Structure 1
């Protein structure tokens, strides 16, 4: 599967929860950020972006500039601590208490660590995507039914890991064929969970450079969708057992629901 790094973003303001240190809230007896870090225990290095009183051994800690500058500024701070030879990074919110190593492994397989960043041009249009196999996972209370696979547009759903179907080559901007820049989960309503994904470091750094130019040098307050605009993303519905690994805790009710799942 190859090696990868992990950057966990823990600097949010948690306004909907009264400004508490949300990643430090326990789920199943462990702080949410520790559960996320455990899901990427095989990553090298692991970087936590945000304030933390204590972290597991070996985890690098950094703050975004400025503090509270948002997830894009935090991603930039985390990427700056990666070793030069790191090519793939898991970019994760710190409030994903149901994330597992199995889920991360599925994302890495769909990114295909052995494939080059750019595939040789083969001509013609991208192949049709296979139908999704397997049963749908249980959805949180605010989720809906699973959507149909989106039409191919440079951002497409991948076949599930158990499908046995070779992943298609995706067409990026300008029609050039290349492998995906990243892979992330989508929820039951088809919403992309961008901070529950794995990405090619070179693609993220190029996107950060572009965004800095567009925003006059500052990444503070930039939305994640602006960072990922133009990247080729392989979207994945969770087809494994157990609760959805992308489930994030934005409210007290979300934390209670995650606690029930974690029992």
Structure 2
């Protein structure tokens, strides 16, 4: 029996945000990547500000004193990867739409999230970079479709989980501070700090 299609997303539809913030940050020497500061605030603080209008902010990772309003959960075991982390976060979602984000996006802004939500249609939307590559930790999804996909998924890849949902690809003009810029390495973190100090670039 086929599943009913999710409804078309109406303008202003309620959404929850799930931020994955529990990785091991091996390329940063195991440092607390979401807590690393760029432009005077933790990386996760920039991401939380980008989804300030979410009905609920769900952080999958350690407690964040800088986000006292967030619902904090952990995947089991901690550090198990993005799919178990999404599963744990989604258990706390109550809205019909879910914005899924990484915790290390210093240049993500509310307008970028709004563009993803506007493009979501029935199947969701995912940000693509300048080369057309999907950024699976920058997307908006029907919550019911995510739950159904997770129910039947035994893999470890977000691409394998989310790709079959057929999301719209969202390409945004970005310049040197693209919304998909992440801080996986010390060099990327240093460059983000330099760019944050030079708003004219």
* TM bucket normalised to smaller: 0.7 to 0.9
Report how far residue 243 of structure 1 moved. 2.1
CA-based RMSD of the aligned residues comes to: 1.5
Q: 1:64 and 1:260 mapped to 2: Cα distance?
A: 33
Match of 1:27 in 2: 38
Match of 1:82 in 2: 93
Q: How many residues align?
A: 186
Q: 2:127 and 2:64 mapped to 1: Cα distance?
A: 30
Deviation larger for 191-200 or 47-56: 47-56
Unaligned runs of 5+ in 1: 113-178
User: Are 2:43 and 1:45 equivalent residues in the alignment?
Assistant: no
Work out whether residues 13 and 97 of structure 2, in 8 Å CA contact, stay in contact via their aligned partners in 1: no
Match of 1:246 in 2: 180
Unaligned runs of 5+ in 2: 1-11
Q: 1:53 and 1:37 mapped to 2: Cα distance?
A: 11
> Following TM superposition, where does structure 1 have runs of at least 4 consecutive aligned residues deviating by more than 3 angstroms?
none
Match of 2:6 in 1: none
1:183 aligned to 100, 122, 125, which one?
125
Match of 2:112 in 1: 103
The CA deviation string for residues 40-73 of structure 1, in whole angstroms up to 9 with x for no partner, is: 0110110000013413232110001111111110
User: Are 2:54 and 1:54 equivalent residues in the alignment?
Assistant: no
User: Are 2:40 and 1:67 equivalent residues in the alignment?
Assistant: no
Q: Give TM-score, length-normalised by structure 1.
A: 0.68
Match of 1:165 in 2: none
- Based on CA coordinates, which of the two structures has the bigger radius of gyration? 1
Q: 2:15 and 2:113 mapped to 1: Cα distance?
A: 11
